[in-house]
Amino acid sequence: TNIIEGTNGEKIITSPHGPVTYPEMPINHYIWADIQNYSNMVALECGITGKKYTYSQVRDYSNYVARSLLNMGFKRGDVIAIVLPNLPDSPIALLGCMEAGIIATTVNPIYTADEIAKQLISSETKAVITSQTILTNVRAAVNATNPNLKIIVINDYAKSVTDGVIPFENLITKGKSLPGVSTGQWSPDDVAILPYSSGTTGLPKGVMLTHRNLVANVQMLKNSISNERCLPADGTFQEILPAVLPMYHIYGMSVVLFSKLSIGCKLITLPKFTPETYIRVLEEHKISFLTVVPPMIMFLSNFEMARKKHIENIKFILSGAAPLSHNDVDKFYNKFQLNSDKVQFCQGYGLTESSPLAFCEITFKKFSSIGKPVSGCDARLVDPLTKKDIVGSGQTGELLIRGPHIMKGYWKNEKATNEIMHGDWLLTGDIAYYDEDVDFYITDRIKELIKVKGFQVAPAELEALLRTHPNVHEAGVIGIPSERYGEVPKAFVVLKKSGTTKAEELHDFMKAKVSDFKAIRGGIEFIDNLPKNPSGKIMRSKLKQDYCK
Ligand code: ATP
Ligand code: MG
């Protein structure tokens, strides 16, 4: 494969798909580039109420929203917070802000009022767009921040919106007769959106993503896993996907929303993941393309309610955002008696800071690999301490990436930006290695490695091994202090059916699989639910907080 030497002796692994070319245009224009092929087809449909918008409606309505926002006095470069679950209207709000040159900061809708308030303050939001069902909470956040902030409300499942707020509807209906939006002084390096990182390892950070970052990343994805079977867009056949990954997070926003709208797919929006509605949507809409986070694969494999008829049409699965082991994918194939020719599987890897996609490759057997850098993305592995480049298969190091998809920086946080950027290289904070074919594997995050005497233990490895036990649904592993060892692993296990396995059995099961220094000396505890954030990551910090006082 292509490993080239940089000017300072860096060992740079380039993409097998070559460099990326992309047009210099706003992401909100890029999305509509081919719309004439499918303008009257449905773009967004609510999986609960059936409310839907066609492509031309989404494009026109977001333009009207932009006109209204500008008419209300908001300006290019202002920040507006979008606190919304996935509704068919949510993309109209997001794209409406973009049309106006307003920076949307997207907020987790299940946050507490306190958490919402933090992001409103940190992002210096000028207004909030939310929905009727979560208004009380959002209003509490606004009152605690700046009671004068305007609140614009989408009427989701209620009869009407509360008095004293601005109905989102009005922005659409009144916007139509307002003067059009001029792009004016536009640059590809303008900040387009301000999502926040997941807050797995500390406080969530505002990530400035530009139009260039987003357009490039959609192109990088298309160049790397383009495949006629899963990406047809000639207006004769329409691919339908569930849009259940939260759109406030970069995965749901970029990989699902932006890239799928840009090729004319239909997205069935679900405001949250519930097993029943999810499998109903899969069956009802004959879903053939799935974008998932690992817990969704585990749900399909481990729960009887998910049956063959639900996944019958699936041809392609893309998983990302958190570790998924070979065995997890095998279980899925075995349960439904499928093979990897019929259902292609691909694991993607990325960060909010990289818009997000950095790695992915369709694979027929290496399910635990994240594959190779996507087109236009360069990668390096370095020693986390000395920052010297590591060479050779099987050697682990910190993963660095660069390309046109790397963020402009953290919002109003130069210190954090300088810590994560080394020149144009982004330090991912993840440990990785590659095999003989230069296919990459993520070991775990540097910050979460458990230090047992002189050795480092990756919790993700122990979690994956625990999940190979037939009775185990999920597991979370953390390090706890130990006088003798410094730190030792402790496991929290969710069984498929409670009471089916004892801790001693699992200890024996693990003993046969790992070397002594990785032994789960901190104990195995059974719990009902693992704390996970909506991007599918196990919140190990929360496990520590809740169980290890
Ligand atoms: P914060 O930076 O605020 O602590 P976060 O890093 O979890 O939160 P995101 O940007 O949502 O926020 O997640 C990026 C991280 O997700 C990566 O650094 C990596 O640790 C993890 N990740 C993404 N894809 C994969 C994957 N396929 N396998 C393993 N880990 C992954
Ligand atoms: Mg991060």
pLDDT at 164: 84
First to last CA, the chain: 49
Query: What is the CA angle 235-245-41, rounded to 5?
Result: 20
Whole-prediction pTM:
0.96
Which element (helix H / strand E) includes 277? Answer: helix 275-284
The arithmetic mean of pLDDT across residues 414-423, rounded, is: 96
Span 241-255, pLDDT tens digits: 999 999 999 999 999
pLDDT band at 234 (very low <50, low <70, confident <90, very high): low
Q: Where do the DSSP E strands lie in 369-416?
A: 378-382, 397-402, 409-410
Q: Is the CB of 292 under 6 A from ligand 1?
A: no
Summarize the confidence of residues 58-68 as an average pLDDT: 98
pLDDT in tens, 288-314: 999 999 999 999 999 999 999 999 999
Task: Count other Cβ atoms within 10 Å, centred on residue 469.
Answer: 18
The number of the ligand nearest the C-alpha atom of 430 reads 1
For the chain, the average pLDDT equals 94
Q: Which amino acid type is present at position 150?
A: K
235 pLDDT band, cuts 50/70/90, is low
The answer to whether 481 and 487 have CB atoms below 8 angstroms apart is yes
Ligand 2: distance of its center to the CA of 353 in Å? Answer: 8
Which amino acid does the sequence have at 318? L
Q: Which residue's alpha carbon is nearest to atom 13 within ligand 1? A: 351
Mutate to test the pocket of ligand 1, among 118, 196, 198, 372 (most ligand atoms within 8 A of CB): 198
Phi, psi of 107 (to 5 degrees): -120, 140
Nearest ligand 1 atom, CA 356: 10
What's the token pair of residue 419?
């810590």
- From the CB of 197, is ligand 1 less than 6 Å away? yes
- C-alpha 302 to ligand 2 mean position (Å): 29
Q: Give me the pLDDT at residue 230, please.
A: 47
Any idea which ligand is nearest the CA of 428?
A: 1
**Cβ 535 under 6 angstroms from ligand 1:** yes
| pLDDT level of residue 97 (50, 70, 90 thresholds) | very high
Q: Which two tokens stand for residue 229?
A: 């079977």
**Which pLDDT value is given to residue 174?**
97
ipTM of the complex: 0.99
Q: Work out the percent of the chain whose per-residue pLDDT is above 70.
A: 98
- Give me ligand 2 centre to Cα 351, in Å: 6
- Of all helices (H) and strands (E), which one includes residue 481? strand 472-482
Greater pLDDT, 520 or 156: 520
Q: Is the CB of 347 under 6 A from ligand 1?
A: yes
Q: Which of 391, 376, 387, 382 is nearest to 438 (CA)?
A: 391
pLDDT over 90 at 388, yes or no: yes
- Provide the pLDDT confidence category of residue 1 given band limits of 50, 70 and 90: low
The predicted pLDDT at position 345 comes to: 92
**Per-residue pLDDT tens digits for 502-513:** 999 999 999 999
Average of pLDDT values for 471-478? Answer: 96
What local confidence, expressed as pLDDT, does residue 534 receive?
A: 82
Q: pLDDT at position 226, please?
A: 67
User: What spacing in Å lies between the alpha carbon of 536 and ligand 2's midpoint?
Assistant: 14
Ligand 2 centroid distance, CA of 208 (Å): 14
Tell me, in angstroms, the distance from the centre of ligand 2 to residue 255's CA.
Answer: 17
Confidence of residue 380 (pLDDT cuts 50, 70, 90): very high
* Ligand 2 midpoint to CA 49 (Å): 35
For residue 428, give the ligand 1 atom closest to its CA: 18
pLDDT in tens, 182-204: 877 899 999 999 999 998 888 89
Which residues line ion ligand 2, judged by CB < 5 Å?
Answer: 197
d(C-alpha 479, C-alpha 18), whole Å: 41
Does residue 204 contact residue 196 with C-beta atoms inside 8 Å? Answer: yes
Dihedral sign, Cα of residue 332, residue 337, residue 339, residue 342: negative
Residue bearing the CA closest to ligand 1, atom 29: 323
Higher pLDDT, 536 or 476: 476
Tens digit of each residue's pLDDT (9 = 90 or more) over 104-161 = 999 999 999 999 999 999 999 999 999 999 999 999 999 999 999 999 999 988 778 8
Cα 350 to ligand 2 centroid, rounded to whole Å:
9
**Ligand with the closest atom to the CA of 253:** 1
Whole-angstrom CA distances from 261 to 28, 239, 258, 375, 385 are 10, 11, 5, 20, 42
The residue contributing the CA closest to ligand 1 atom 15 is 351
pLDDT band at 10 (very low <50, low <70, confident <90, very high): very high
CA of 122 to the centre of ligand 1 (A): 21
Instruction: For residue 491, list its beta bridge partners.
Output: 477, 524
Q: Please tell me the predicted confidence (pLDDT) of residue 182.
A: 85
Tell me which residue has its CA closest to atom 31 in ligand 1: 322
Work out the average pLDDT over 45-57: 97
